[in-house]
Amino acid sequence: MGEQVSAAALIRSQLRRARVAAGLSQEEYGRRIHYSTSLISAVELGNATPKLDFLKRADDVFDTGGLFVALRELGRREREPVWFRPWLEAEREATQLRCFAAMMVPGLLQTADYARAVFRLDPTLTPDRVEEMVTARLDRQAILDREDPPHLTAVIDESALRRFGVDGTDVLVGQLRHLLACARRPHVSVHVLPQGTGLHPGLLGPFILGCSADGGWMAFLDNQIGGTVVDDVDGVATLLGRWESLRSDALPRQQSIGLIEEILKPWT
């Protein structure tokens, strides 16, 4: 049985094949898609990952009918853990998302540097695997940039926003600035759960809920080694109840933005 070819390797080989078949040098091809010859070479050698815009332009030049963009989507799904895929499908179809995060900023609102710092906490992950996971996380966030994005409401424990470290101050400052930018988007609501709240149901763990166009709900629970999809009626009802409790204890939207700005002040 032959060795399985990854989507990334397939994209790389087919980009070169299409360029050669069209009789284009790397320099000529670069001019057509408005990218440098050095980047064309790096992509074909596997030393650079082509971005979405790069692949869209390649599809246009070679009239592929969207082949390269489709292969990129296939590659993105290859990087997703099998246990996470059912939730990701639900997340992509959701019209509403509600998430609670106790210890860190939720994945849909993370910067690349913050996500990278989180993934590096696992000593079993190689640098290459960390970068793959960062890319997958940023790809996941693309749902918030669609023409018809879901409305995301996030409740974040204040302690997660004050987790400054000696080596991670710049990372968290950048993350909080990004969080403020997200919180001002019309389809994103960020609410901070104040430190003085005391005991609350969110201490039992983070979760995210998604509602589909037909009104059905599904949830996902994070844990140390993976996660669990919750789609049974009783489980979802329990999490919806806990969500309502957390949301009622959290600060209103504008007060939350003000608190994040206050947390940032000493570091800017």
Tell me what pLDDT residue 73 has. 73
CATH dotted code for 83-267: 3.30.870
Q: Which pTM value belongs to this model? A: 0.73
Tell me what pLDDT residue 2 has. 42
Q: In this model, does residue 44 exceed pLDDT 60?
A: yes
Tens of pLDDT, residues 5-27: 567 788 889 999 999 999 999 99
HEC string of the chain equals CCCCCCHHHHHHHHHHHHHHHCCCCHHHHHHHHCCCHHHHHHHHHCCCCCCHHHHHHHHHHHCCCCHHHHHHHHHHHHCCCHHHHHHHHHHHHCCEEEEEECCCCCHHHCCHHHHHHHHCCCCCCCHHHHHHHHHHHHHHHHHHHCCCCCEEEEEEEHHHHCCCCCCCHHHHHHHHHHHHHHHCCCCEEEEEECHHHCCCHHHHCCEEEEECCCCCEEEEEEECCEEEEECCHHHHHHHHHHHHHHHHHCCCHHHHHHHHHHHHHHHC
Tell me what pLDDT residue 210 has. 97
Tell me what pLDDT residue 64 has. 93
The residue among 255 and 165 whose pLDDT is bigger is 255
* Mean pLDDT of the chain, nearest integer: 89
Tens of pLDDT, residues 226-262: 789 999 999 999 999 999 999 999 999 999 999 999 9
Tens of pLDDT, residues 54-79: 999 999 999 999 999 888 877 666 66
Tell me what pLDDT residue 3 has. 47
Residue ranges of the chain assigned to CATH 3.30.870: 83-267
Tell me what pLDDT residue 32 has. 94
CATH top-level class for 7-78?
Answer: mainly alpha
> Per mean pLDDT, which range of 85-94, 184-193, 207-216 is the poorest?
85-94
Mean pLDDT value across residues 209-217: 95
